[in-house]
């Protein structure tokens, strides 16, 4: 307990809280004796020890479930006759429950067996609650320095007092749980538990997700989680997308009343660090599962499968995910490259090899990987111009502000930053966020669940099939922001040609008369073919890739122009080199794209003419705005 004293202004307990613990200790010492807590602490995690043979013998001899280690420890000690004091055994059997309850791994129903035993033995409620409280405090505080904080202490004390009240007043935990559901609503009750399993992050997203569940799915989910225990779930699953974590918990709870994620925790951690590549890959796997799907090893997606371990007669199930050899190789190589900078030909070749593996196995491009791995950093880069995007697009949408209702499509929405801004600025609008990437659609869905006003509808859609998602003349506006150049690069062989004309024609048919097509993208300089000389400088920092080295690789790898780039290059070619250098850390993905195709005037003329070829009429009304007539 000396380790709980305040050593700095930041960590440790204040004197009042520490004295509370001392008073609790004095009560327990007076009632049960000075060695009572010592012997319990000595044996707390007994079932985690022993070699494989010893543990196997315990399982065979006593039928223990080693995944539920508190109950297993008590059973071994009792059956072997090594600890005979019934009160000590009960406290060992139920140690860790307060922490698990506060983390959302269990509900209050898990306290029922302990409080029933106390009532049956007619033990003083205050004294036994103090002992139970202290054992749980010490068990938690021993995990690591500074874990048991003032904030956590207050929650532990509140739970301790609740346990004492239940014993004194002969209450039922079932009644308490059901009463809470009646008072705050069962959907919110479920959302709050799921929030605990994410360290109380993303609560608004979780509320939106629970509200969106079909009644039958919600009822099954609510009833399953009411009695389910999830060991190590917070640490193992809280990095997944909100819906994916919820689906995983839902599917796991169908398999057994106690679900242990300790193996998954070790799978996702390496030397104390989170393996974000594996998280991204498993997230991809979970995104393919529906709420109705049953989690089972026979479902193999992109080299990943669920591993479910359950021994006969045991109440728990182990959940983990396994990777085939190609997947392990790809993840390992990507992690290796992520720790280094692209500063040599060997690095570039290794990155290319790893990305080929990742695309072959998972269908994940480097852009999608970046979004899942270093999401904050990626979003800072991708949305560095978000304020400018919002200013331009919202200004272009201003003529529609007075409409009572609106239907707007943000095509190629990415993670949905612009989509969200539109929905917030025009709360009367249904704003559709369209993207082909599962990860991006999931990110858009997360944003939609956070909205306090406005409406976002995420759609996984290929732009070539957009006519299948909307009726003719049903949209008031279509926005493409920094995406048409990708259509040209990947759908039309680096040309602004017939396929792109077809896309613009589809947009025109979907717009109502007076509807707006708003374009934001790279434009070539006014004289793209003018020859210039580009001076190659040096990297300004150690983190930057050497420009000469970058240029050598770019000239070899870039296929966006029909003719190789010469020493004396055009303005259009120089623009591509400079723009790609700014995205050099994501080179292997970005080098596949050509950014700019036409100067502004030629670009807008191309769009208007494509619309005319589709049998519609349009007029350029602003720098980036084309209005259907």
- Alpha-carbon distances of 452 from 69, 204, 205, 243, 447, rounded to whole Å: 43, 9, 10, 19, 10
Helices 438-450 & 242-253 angle (0-180, nearest 10): 100
Lookup: tokens for 426: 């025009």
pLDDT level of residue 442 (50, 70, 90 thresholds): confident
End-to-end CA distance of the chain: 77
The answer to whether residues 547 and 466 belong to one domain is no
**Percentage of residues in the chain having pLDDT higher than 90:** 44
List residues bridging with 13 in a β-sheet: 5
Tens-place pLDDT, residues 397-441: 999 998 989 999 999 998 888 999 999 999 999 999 999 887 788
What b/e readout covers 527-538, taking b as 16+ CB neighbours within 10 angstroms?
ebeeeeebeeee
Query: Final residue of a domain: which of 175, 208, 227?
Result: 227
Q: Is residue 363 part of a domain?
A: no
pLDDT level of residue 374 (50, 70, 90 thresholds): very low
Taking the CA atoms of the chain, what radius of gyration do you get in angstroms?
Answer: 30
- Asked whether residue 137 carries a pLDDT value surpassing 50, the answer given is yes
Q: How far is CA 81 from the centre of its chain?
A: 47
Q: Is residue 159 part of a domain?
A: yes
The answer to whether residues 54 and 98 belong to one domain is yes
Closest CA to 440 of 475, 412, 407: 412
- Asked whether residue 378 carries a pLDDT value surpassing 50, the answer given is no
Closest CA to 107 of 229, 191, 248: 229
Average pLDDT of the residues in 252-271:
89
The answer to whether residues 28 and 86 belong to one domain is yes
- Asked whether residue 128 carries a pLDDT value surpassing 70, the answer given is yes
Burial zone of 435 (CB within 10 Å; 0-12 exposed, 13-18 middle, 19+ buried)? buried
**Which DSSP symbol is given to 314?**
-
Instruction: Give the chain's domain count.
Output: 3
The answer to whether residues 26 and 141 belong to one domain is yes
What are the helix (H) ranges across 261-344?
Answer: 262-267, 276-287, 325-338
User: What is the reported pLDDT for 367?
Assistant: 53
Residue 41 CB partners (closer than 8 Å, separation 6+): 135, 138
- Asked whether residue 371 carries a pLDDT value surpassing 50, the answer given is no
Specify the higher pLDDT residue, 502 or 544.
Answer: 502
Burial zone of 424 (CB within 10 Å; 0-12 exposed, 13-18 middle, 19+ buried)? middle
Burial zone of 301 (CB within 10 Å; 0-12 exposed, 13-18 middle, 19+ buried)? middle
| Secondary structure (DSSP) of 497-532 | -HHHHHHHHHHHHHEEEEEEEEEE---B-SSTT-EE
Q: Is residue 566 part of a domain?
A: yes
User: What is the reported pLDDT for 300?
Assistant: 67
Q: How far is CA 131 from the centre of its chain?
A: 38
Can you give the CATH number for the domain in which 439 is found?
3.40.50.150
Average pLDDT of the residues in 284-290:
84
Tens-place pLDDT, residues 593-602: 999 999 999 9
Closest CA to 197 of 184, 185, 209: 209
159, 129 Cβ separation under 8 angstroms: no
The answer to whether residues 473 and 420 belong to one domain is yes
Average pLDDT of the residues in 287-314:
77
Lowest mean pLDDT among 15-24, 345-354, 388-397: 345-354
Specify the higher pLDDT residue, 52 or 248.
Answer: 248
- Asked whether residue 313 carries a pLDDT value surpassing 50, the answer given is yes
**Which DSSP symbol is given to 536?**
P
User: What is the reported pLDDT for 384?
Assistant: 54
CA–CA separation, 491 vs 504, rounded Å?
Answer: 13
Q: Is residue 553 part of a domain?
A: yes
User: What is the reported pLDDT for 376?
Assistant: 46
The answer to whether residues 59 and 146 belong to one domain is yes
Burial zone of 517 (CB within 10 Å; 0-12 exposed, 13-18 middle, 19+ buried)? buried
CA–CA separation, 445 vs 457, rounded Å?
Answer: 7
Residue 228 CB partners (closer than 8 Å, separation 6+): 249, 253, 257, 258, 259
Which helix (H) or strand (E) element contains residue 456? strand 455-460
Q: Is residue 312 part of a domain?
A: no
Residue with tokens 């904080």: 149
The answer to whether residues 218 and 112 belong to one domain is yes
CA–CA separation, 625 vs 604, rounded Å?
Answer: 9
Residue with tokens 């095509």: 411
Tens-place pLDDT, residues 531-547: 888 887 777 766 677 88
92, 40 Cβ separation under 8 angstroms: yes
**Residue ranges making up the domain that contains 538:** 531-590
- Asked whether residue 372 carries a pLDDT value surpassing 50, the answer given is no
What is the SS3 assignment for 22? Answer: helix
Q: Is residue 372 part of a domain?
A: no
Lowest mean pLDDT among 171-180, 463-472, 551-560: 551-560
Query: Final residue of a domain: which of 209, 227, 245?
Result: 227
Count Cβ atoms below 10 Å from residue 5 Cβ, excluding itself. 11
Residue 304 CB partners (closer than 8 Å, separation 6+): 281, 282, 284, 285, 321, 322, 323, 324, 327
**Percentage of residues in the chain having pLDDT higher than 70:** 87
Q: What are phi and psi of 528, to 5 degrees?
A: -65, -25
CA–CA separation, 627 vs 629, rounded Å?
Answer: 6
The answer to whether residues 512 and 585 belong to one domain is no
Residue-averaged pLDDT of the chain: 85
The answer to whether residues 564 and 457 belong to one domain is no
The answer to whether residues 495 and 578 belong to one domain is no
Burial zone of 503 (CB within 10 Å; 0-12 exposed, 13-18 middle, 19+ buried)? buried
Q: Is residue 237 part of a domain?
A: no
Specify the higher pLDDT residue, 47 or 405.
Answer: 405
Tens-place pLDDT, residues 467-501: 989 999 999 999 999 899 999 998 888 999 999 99
422, 458 Cβ separation under 8 angstroms: no
The answer to whether residues 438 and 556 belong to one domain is no
Which helix (H) or strand (E) element contains residue 485? helix 484-491
Q: Is residue 558 part of a domain?
A: yes
Query: Final residue of a domain: which of 227, 257, 272?
Result: 227
Residue 158 CB partners (closer than 8 Å, separation 6+): none
User: What is the reported pLDDT for 512?
Assistant: 94
CA–CA separation, 75 vs 70, rounded Å?
Answer: 9
Residue with tokens 């040209």: 488
449, 380 Cβ separation under 8 angstroms: no
Closest CA to 67 of 251, 216, 256: 256
The answer to whether residues 490 and 452 belong to one domain is yes
Lookup: tokens for 259: 């679900």
366, 308 Cβ separation under 8 angstroms: no
Lookup: tokens for 57: 């013998």
Lowest mean pLDDT among 3-7, 76-80, 95-99, 155-159: 3-7
């Amino acid at each position: 307990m000396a380790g709980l004293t305040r050593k700095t202004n930041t960590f440790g307990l204040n004197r009042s809280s520490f004295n509370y613990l001392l008073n609790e200790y004095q009560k327990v010492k007076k009632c049960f004796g000075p060695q009572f807590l010592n012997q319990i602490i000595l044996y707390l995690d007994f079932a985690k020890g022993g070699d494989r043979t010893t543990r196997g013998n315990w399982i065979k001899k006593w039928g223990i479930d080693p995944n539920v280690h508190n109950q297993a420890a008590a059973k071994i000690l009792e059956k072997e006759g090594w600890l005979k004091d019934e009160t000590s055994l009960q406290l060992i059997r139920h140690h860790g429950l307060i922490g698990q309850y506060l983390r959302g791994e269990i509900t209050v129903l898990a306290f029922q067996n302990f409080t029933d035993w106390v009532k049956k033995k007619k033990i003083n409620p205050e004294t036994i609650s103090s002992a139970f409280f202290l054992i749980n405090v010490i068990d938690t505080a021993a995990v690591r320095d500074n874990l048991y904080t003032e904030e956590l202490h207050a929650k532990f004390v509140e739970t301790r007092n609740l346990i004492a009240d239940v014993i004194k007043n002969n209450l039922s935990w079932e009644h308490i749980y059901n009463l809470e559901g009646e008072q705050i609503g069962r959907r919110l009750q479920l959302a709050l538990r799921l929030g605990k399993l994410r360290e109380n992050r993303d609560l608004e997203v979780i509320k939106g997700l629970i509200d969106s569940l079909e009644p039958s799915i919600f009822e099954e989910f609510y009833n399953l989680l009411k009695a389910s225990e999830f060991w190590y779930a917070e640490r193992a699953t809280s990095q997944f997308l909100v819906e994916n974590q919820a689906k995983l918990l839902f599917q796991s709870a169908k398999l057994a009343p106690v679900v242990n994620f300790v193996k998954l925790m070790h799978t996702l951690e390496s030397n104390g660090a989170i393996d974000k590549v594996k998280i991204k890959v498993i997230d991809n796997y979970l995104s393919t599962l529906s709420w109705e799907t049953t989690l089972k090893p026979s479902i193999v997606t992109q080299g990943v499968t669920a591993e479910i371990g359950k021994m006969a007669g045991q109440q728990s199930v182990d959940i983990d995910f396994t990777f085939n050899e190609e997947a392990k190789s790809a993840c390992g190589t990507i992690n290796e490259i992520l720790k280094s900078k692209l500063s040599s030909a060997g690095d570039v070749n290794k990155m290319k090899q790893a990305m080929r593996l990742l695309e072959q196995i998972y269908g994940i491009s480097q852009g999608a990987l970046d979004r899942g791995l270093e999401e904050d950093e990626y979003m800072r880069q991708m949305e560095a111009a978000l304020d400018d995007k919002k200013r331009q697009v919202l200004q272009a949408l201003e003529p529609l502000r007075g409409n009572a209702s609106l239907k707007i499509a943000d095509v190629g929405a990415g993670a949905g930053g612009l989509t969200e801004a539109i929905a917030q600025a025009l709360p009367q609008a249904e704003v559709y966020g369209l993207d082909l990437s599962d990860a991006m659609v999931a990110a858009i869905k997360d944003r939609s669940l956070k909205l306090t006003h406005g409406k976002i509808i995420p759609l996984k859609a290929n732009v070539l099939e957009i006519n299948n998602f909307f009726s003719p003349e049903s949209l008031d506006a279509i926005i493409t922001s920094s995406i048409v150049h990708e259509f040209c690069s990947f759908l039309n062989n680096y040309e602004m040609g017939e396929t792109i004309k077809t896309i613009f024609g589809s947009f025109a048919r979907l717009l109502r008369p007076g509807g707006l097509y708003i374009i934001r993208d790279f434009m070539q300089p006014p004289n793209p073919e003018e020859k210039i000389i580009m001076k190659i400088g040096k990297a300004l920092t150690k983190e930057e890739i050497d420009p000469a080295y970058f240029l050598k690789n770019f000239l070899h790898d870039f296929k966006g122009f029909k003719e190789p780039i010469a020493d004396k290059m055009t303005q259009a070619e120089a623009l591509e080199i400079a723009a790609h250098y700014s995205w050099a850390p994501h080179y292997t993905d970005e080098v596949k794209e050509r950014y700019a195709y036409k100067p502004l005037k030629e670009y807008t003329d191309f769009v208007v003419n494509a619309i005319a070829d589709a049998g519609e009429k349009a007029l350029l009304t602003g720098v980036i705005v084309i209005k259907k007539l």
